[in-house]
Amino acid sequence: MPPVVLEVRNLKTHFFTRWGVVKAVDGVSFSLSEGETLGLVGESGSGKSVTCLSILRLVPKPAGRIVGGQILFGGHDLLALSEKEMRKYRGRQISMILQDPLSTLNPVFTIGAQVREPLRIHHLVEPDSLKQRVLELLRLVRIPAAESRLENYPHQFSGGMRQRVVGAIAIACQPKLLIADEPTTSLDVTIQAQYLRLLKEIQRQSNLALLFVTHDFGIVAKMCDRVAVMYAGRIVEEAAVRELFTAPAHPYTQGLLQSLPKLDQRVARLPSIEGAPPLLSNLPPGCPFAPRCPKVMPLCREQYPPTTPLTASHQVACWVHAKEGHATSHAPG
Ligand code: SF4
């Protein structure tokens, strides 16, 4: 078994607003090993991005606060580090690629300067070798004629090239963990496929652990080894990718998969999950999916379901499965 790089235990990140406490992440646990890709999927507002920001301790302040749990990275609890110590991890050991390369890149600095910045901050390369390393990185992410593009600004690059530059910045310091938060959302489909191939290649070369956030199951199938489905700030199902696609156990996952168009089926209207995600500041008691669930039972409205292992690589938080006698642990209250 490859060594575990990241272990998130019972993470809780809440936002304290004038409308109440928004439990954006409420008891999330998962682990990620070297060279492995874990997909985090779920609707907007399910807590995927806040989970990622929590790992880097970049939750927007003052409203956002990590109120519980542990984030173990290489055996160290990131939540116990001082801000100064944490800065040594960001960009160096843990990097993140965001959705929109335009808002990631600074419009007033050249591409060369921006790729150079993390190398300079973390003193990883001798000053006279910096340019060489920047060129290597730009070539690695397939920026054509890299040398002549060093003095270009982000607006002189296409969307696909900008996202590749963001990738070069993210891997500049050879991190152990790369968090990619919907990195292909702003790319068109063909560029998307190229970019995903490139990410996979980089991951293979450096044995990166990759946490991949997406709402696209097609990308999950292509990119991930395991997948965790989030709903209302919690992981409701986690499985090896093949198991999740062939035997989804949670009614929410089943609904998501049923709503995907299929090439071999013509339907007038795709099935959808009725209703809307709950307000995280006002969660119903019991299972938060209950108001939308086709399999809801009276117990569902009273208690949050325990997490039940179905196989060695598949677990689900749903009373339908707990009732079959698999329940082992209860979700955090
Ligand atoms: S616990 Fe009940 S409401 Fe929640 S997903 Fe399972 S069946 Fe549906």
Whose tokens are 């179905």? That residue is: 310
User: In angstroms, what is the span from residue 274 Cα to ligand 1's centroid?
Assistant: 14
Q: What is the secondary structure of 191-203 as a DSSP string?
A: HHHHHHHHHHHHH
Note the pLDDT tens digit of each residue in 252-310. Answer: 999 999 888 777 777 777 788 888 888 898 888 899 999 999 999 999 999 999 999 99
CB < 8 Å & 24+ apart, contacts of 54-57: 54/11, 54/13, 54/25, 55/6, 55/8, 55/94, 55/177, 55/179, 55/211, 56/89, 56/90, 56/94, 56/96, 56/179, 57/83, 57/86
- Decide if 169 contacts 133 (C-beta within 8 A): no
Q: 217: part of which helix (H) or strand (E)?
A: helix 217-223
More confident of the two residues 332 and 237:
237
First to last CA, the chain: 32
pTM of the full structure: 0.89
Alpha-carbon distance 170 to 101, whole Å? Answer: 12
User: In angstroms, what is the span from residue 113 Cα to ligand 1's centroid?
Assistant: 51
Residue among 250, 256, 289 to mutate when testing ligand 1 (max atoms within 8 A of CB): 289
Residue among 237, 274, 293 to mutate when testing ligand 1 (max atoms within 8 A of CB): 293
Note the pLDDT tens digit of each residue in 23-36. Answer: 999 999 999 999 99
Rounded mean pLDDT of the chain?
Answer: 90
**What residues does ligand 1 touch, defined as CB less than 6 Å away?**
250-251, 287, 289-290, 293, 295-297, 300, 305, 318-320
Note the pLDDT tens digit of each residue in 217-234. Answer: 989 999 999 999 999 999
